[in-house]
Structure 1
């Protein structure tokens, strides 16, 4: 593969954060006085682009500062014990950097949580750019963060590839006119997706 910009989603693509995300959402719900939701229910909805997540999880029209504060508070206290990279991801990132590709992350997580997570997992330095929910006017499925990364690193859309695990990522990629690869070892299962990190590794290096 020619040298290019490879953009990764974080949760469900690079990082197995399912436990932390479900627990953090329930921590916010607890602070709001609501009962906890089942982890499976949260993870089924977290990538559903047809819902308003603030309404679904917190009975609010939009996320506010308290939601962000409490979510980040849980993340900060628990990421060291709950977050893990998917097996083979570190080696994949090492190989791609060694081949001279630019790497980036586009995530609907907040910047503080993202930097904490990637730093704890010892891959933060692999990335040339990171675009998060609070860096842009609109998160995925809108293309804002992908455009931000392209502008920051000076790449055109045809020089880029986006790798994610759900319809929000697919729609953002389509709207930014960036090639897309779907993976299915995260929160969702797609029949046309790449099913293992080894398979992705082979696909990117062929």
Structure 2
């Protein structure tokens, strides 16, 4: 048995508008100015910052912030969703040979809803979000949980993501990983640019 785990936002689907608009909605409700889309997306994936502090000025996310975020996101998360070019075909090609899973720092219910909306949910035997673990990525808990669920050895698995949080989660779990550059970050090194390159990296590991 072999397993490929994908991050969702910025790896499978471009949900940049939904994320940006939601964070700005919360900020405006709290009396802050809107932030620029690219700036938000770059910071969302930065493992070195405290997101609650950076976006809303509090040490941890408050109930009010979470409520505002979920209220808006729930209504708008399906608008402006796009699957990155070549991803659907890649997943079609992989589904016969691999167990496919999603490990996302989004909420599991929203993740399923979003992936279902773009026609991808049916390919994944597990869609695991931050609400199903104590510690989201970069902690390896999510990766361990998926390996355990499918009873797959870590050397037979690979994780694909657009953020250093993804790579750190994989590395911390002893799993091979691939960093992609079509998502929300602009990596200067060690990242691949195209789905064709991703296919080659998967083949290099497994075939």
- TM-score, scaled to structure 2: 0.91
Q: Which range is displaced more, 191-200 or 72-81?
A: 72-81
Q: 1:70 to 1:204 in 2, by over 3 A?
A: same
Q: 1:129 to 1:73 in 2, by over 3 A?
A: same
Q: Paired residue for 2:156, among 156, 159, 177?
A: 159
Structure 1 residue 70 displacement after superposition: 2.6
Measure the CA separation in 1 of the matches of 2:184 and 2:147.
26
May I ask how many residue pairs the two structures share in their alignment?
A: 203
Note if contact 1:13-1:183 (Cα within 8 Å) is conserved in structure 2. Answer: yes
Q: 1:142 to 1:4 in 2, by over 3 A?
A: same
- Which segments of structure 1 move beyond 6 Å, counting only runs of 4 or more? none
Q: Which range is displaced more, 168-177 or 195-204?
A: 195-204
Note if contact 1:104-1:128 (Cα within 8 Å) is conserved in structure 2. Answer: yes
Q: Paired residue for 1:46, among 38, 44, 47?
A: 44
Q: Which range is displaced more, 176-185 or 76-85?
A: 76-85
Query: Unaligned stretches of 5+ in structure 2?
Result: none
Q: 1:150 to 1:64 in 2, by over 3 A?
A: farther
Note if contact 2:178-2:201 (Cα within 8 Å) is conserved in structure 1. Answer: no
Aligned-residue Cα RMSD (Å) equals: 1.5
Structure 1 residue 127 displacement after superposition: 0.5
Measure the CA separation in 2 of the matches of 1:92 and 1:138.
29
Q: Find the residue that maps to 2:158 and give its secondary structure.
A: strand
Measure the CA separation in 2 of the matches of 1:11 and 1:18.
8
Structure 1 residue 167 displacement after superposition: 1.1
Residue number in structure 2 paired with 1:32: 30
Structure 1 residue 178 displacement after superposition: 0.3
Query: Unaligned stretches of 5+ in structure 1?
Result: none
Q: Find the residue that maps to 1:80 and give its secondary structure.
A: coil
Measure the CA separation in 2 of the matches of 1:65 and 1:121.
30
Residue number in structure 1 paired with 2:59: 61
Measure the CA separation in 2 of the matches of 1:13 and 1:66.
29
Q: Paired residue for 1:147, among 137, 141, 144?
A: 144
Note if contact 1:115-1:124 (Cα within 8 Å) is conserved in structure 2. Answer: yes
Measure the CA separation in 1 of the matches of 2:26 and 2:110.
15
Note if contact 2:18-2:79 (Cα within 8 Å) is conserved in structure 1. Answer: no
Measure the CA separation in 2 of the matches of 1:57 and 1:105.
26
Residue number in structure 1 paired with 2:76: 78
- TM-score, scaled to structure 1: 0.92
Aligned pairs for 1:81-100 within 5 A? 81-98=79-96, 100=97
